[in-house]
A and B are shown apart, each in its own frame.
Chain A
Amino acid sequence: MVELQETHKKFQKELSSGTVSLALLSILAQSKEPLYGYQIGKLVGAGDDEGVMVKQGAIYPVLRSLEGQGLLSSEREMSDSGPPRKYYQATETGQKALETWTLIWTETKTFVDNVLEGDYQ
C-alpha cells in the first residue's frame, strides 16, 4: 500500500510541474496589482488540504523560473513589518504566453477527458 502511495505522489508531481506554472502565470496575469509570494501561496493553497496541488514553498522556484523566462517581472519592496517582500507581476510576454498556454491546456484537457470517457476513437 505504501508503494502505491509513492506512485500517487510521483504521478501528482509529474502532473503538477506544468500546471503549476500555468496557474501561477494566470493568477499574476489576472491580478490588477503585483503580488508577493505569500499572497500567491494563499491563493494557490486555498481550499482543504487534500485539494492542494502544490506546497507553498514549491511555488517560489517556479516563480523564479517564470521570471527567468521573462514571463514575470519582480520588484523588492520593504514592508512595514517583517522582511522585505518580492512582488511579482506578469509581463507583456507573460500575458501573450498565457493565451497560448491556455489553448494548450484546453486541448490537453479535452484530449484527456475524451480518453477517460472512452470516446477517443
Chain B
Amino acid sequence: MRTADELIRIYIRDLKAALKGADKATIQDALADAEEHLRTALESENNEEKAESEAVQAIINEYGEVEEIAQAYKNWEVSLPPALASTPAARRVAATANGDNPAAKKYPGFFGIFADPKAWGGLVFMLISLVTGTLYFTWAVTGLSVSLGLMILIFGVPIAIIFLLSFRGIAFLEGRLVEALLGERMPRRASFTDSSLSWKERLKILLTGKATWLSIIYMILMLPLGVIYFTVMVTLISVSVSFMATPIGAIVMMAKDIPFDIFSSGDLVWTLSDPAGFLVTLLIAVLGFLIGTCTMHIARWIGKVHGKFAKALLVSD
C-alpha cells in the first residue's frame, strides 16, 4: 500500500512526464499548481473514515487525469498574449487568433523596431541592470562571505540558510522582471518545497540543489553584465542623440555668429553658414538617427539573449 505522499509524488512525476516538450516555466507552474491543490485538498478532506491513501486517490481523480491536465496547460501556453508569447508556435497561434497574418504581425522593416515593445523593454532592462546588477552582486558576495565567515560559530548556520533562501527569492523576482521587460516566459510563482519533507531534507535540497548555486552565479555575473549593458546603452544613446542635435546646434551657433568650421581639408573650408556645411550637419543627424535605430535593434537582440541566459540559470528543471 502506497502512502498518500507517495501517490502525490507519483502523480507529479507523471504530470511532468506528460508535459514533456512544453515550456520549462509552464511545467514548473503546472507542477506547483498540482502540488498546492493535492496537498491542500488532502489537508482539508482528511477525515478519519477513509484511509489517507484512498482519500488521495479520490482527490487525484477529481483533479483529473495526467494527460488531460497536461493538455490544458499546453493549450494555455499557446493562448498567451502575443507580446509575451515566447514560443514560435504560440506566437503563430496568437497571430492567427487575432486574424492577422503571422508574417505581418512582426514589426516590419528596419525602422519598425521603434514600435516593438521588446526593443523598449530590452532598453529599459539594460539601463536598470546597472542598479539591479550591483545590488545582486553586493547581496550575493556579502551573503556568501558573511555566511562562510560565521560558519565556525553556531549562529553562522541559520544566517547562511537565510541568505541562501533570499537568493532563491531574488532569483524569482528577477525572473518576473525578465518576463515583464524581455518577454521571456519565466515561472509565475516560486518553486515549491515539498512540505512533507523534514527540515533536514529541505536543507539538503537548498544546499545541494542546482537552483541555489546557479542563482548565485547569475547574481554575481549581473554586476559585469549590468555595467557593460549600461555603458553600451548610454554611450550609444548619447552619441545618437547628440548627432541628431547637430543641426540645432548649428542653427544656434549661426544665430549667435559663432564661427565654426564644420569641415576643412587644405584650402577647402565649409563653415556652418555655407549651405554645404549645413548639409553636413544634416547628414550627421541622419547618421545619429541610424545609430539610434541600430541601438534599438541591439537592445532587442541583447534582451532576447539575456532572457535565454536568465532562463538557463534561474529556472531549474
Contacts and interface: CB of A to CB of B under 8 A. Distances in A.
A112 to B, nearest CB: 23
Given A64-B76, A84-B36, A57 B63 contact: yes
A82 B37 contact: no
Interface in B218-267: none
Interface stretch (A22-30, A35-43, A101-109): A35-43
B68 interface: yes
B72 A57 contact: yes
20 contacts: A17-B75, A36-B40, A37-B40, A38-B36, A38-B40, A45-B62, A55-B62, A56-B37, A57-B64, A58-B72, A60-B33, A61-B73, A61-B76, A62-B76, A64-B76, A65-B76, A82-B42, A82-B43, A83-B192, A83-B195
A40 to B, nearest CB: 10
B165 to A, nearest CB: 14
B189 A86 contact: yes
Complex A-B, nearest 4 residue pairs according to Cβ-Cβ distance, in ascending order: A55-B64, A61-B76, A57-B64, A60-B33
A17, A62, A64: which has the most chain B beta carbons within 10 Å? Answer: A64
Contacts of A85: 36, 40
Interface string B54-89: 000000001111001100110110011100100000
Nearest to B194: A83
A83 B68 contact: no
Contacts of B188: 64
Contacts of B65: 55
Contacts of A64: 29, 76, 188
B44 interface: yes
Contacts of B79: 65
A61 B40 contact: no
Contacts of A36: 40
B37 A37 contact: yes
Nearest to A79: B40
What DSSP secondary structure best describes chain B's contact surface? helix
A76 B35 CA distance: 15
Interface of A: 17, 36-38, 41, 45, 55-58, 60-62, 64-65, 68-69, 76, 79, 81-86
A57 B69 contact: yes
Contacts of A38: 36-37, 40-41, 44
Given A55-B69, A61-B75, 10 more contacts: A38-B36, A41-B37, A57-B64, A58-B69, A61-B76, A68-B81, A83-B36, A83-B195, A84-B36, A85-B40
B72 A61 contact: yes
Nearest to B15: A57
Nearest to B64: A55
Nearest to B40: A38
A58 B192 contact: no
Contacts of A82: 39-40, 42-43, 195
Given A38-B41, A57-B68, A69-B81, A86 B62 contact: no
B34 interface: yes
Contacts of A79: 40
B138 to A, nearest CB: 27
B173 to A, nearest CB: 13
A69 B81 CA distance: 8
A5 B81 CA distance: 33
Nearest to B36: A83
